[in-house]
C-alpha cells in the first residue's frame, strides 16, 4: 500500500523530471531543496541554482522506464537523451520536506567518451 509520503515523493520527482523534459526550469527548481546535492558519473554539484544552470545548458530528456518509491526515497530507471546519445540510467532521489534533497545518477559513461 502506498503511503501519503510515498505518493508525495513520487509526485515531486515526476513533476521535476517532466519539468526538465519541457524545459520549464523554474518549475523544476521549485522541486529542489535550495542546498540539494547531485552526484553523478561525470561530476558533482551543490545547490539548486548550480544544478538548474547546468540543466539549462544540457537540456537532457528523460524517458522513464520504471519508478519505485519508499517513504522519502524514489528510484527511477530511465533512458536519458543527452543529445547525440541516449543512455540507460538509474536515478536515486531523496526528499526532505517534499523537496529533492539529493540526486545520485548512475550510468555507463563509455558511449559518451
In angstroms, rounded to a whole number, what is the distance separating the alpha carbons of residues 77 and 79?
7
CATH architecture of 4-112: Roll (3.10)
Total-model pTM:
0.93
**53-83 tens-digit pLDDT:** 999 999 999 999 999 999 999 999 999 999 8
pLDDT value, residue 4: 56
Which among 81, 95, 91 has a CA at the least distance from the CA of 36?
Answer: 95
Amino acid at each position: 500500500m502506498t503511503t501519503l509520503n510515498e505518493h508525495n515523493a513520487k509526485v515531486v520527482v515526476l513533476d521535476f523530471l517532466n519539468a526538465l523534459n519541457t524545459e520549464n526550469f523554474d518549475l523544476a527548481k521549485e522541486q529542489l531543496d535550495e542546498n540539494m546535492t547531485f552526484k553523478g558519473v561525470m561530476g558533482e554539484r551543490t545547490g539548486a541554482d548550480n544544478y538548474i544552470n547546468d540543466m539549462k545548458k544540457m537540456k537532457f530528456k528523460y524517458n522513464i522506464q520504471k519508478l519505485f518509491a519508499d517513504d522519502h526515497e524514489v528510484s527511477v530507471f530511465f533512458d536519458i537523451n543527452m543529445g547525440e546519445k541516449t543512455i540507460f540510467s538509474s536515478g536515486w532521489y531523496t526528499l526532505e520536506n517534499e523537496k529533492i534533497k539529493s540526486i545520485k545518477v548512475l550510468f555507463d559513461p563509455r558511449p559518451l567518451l
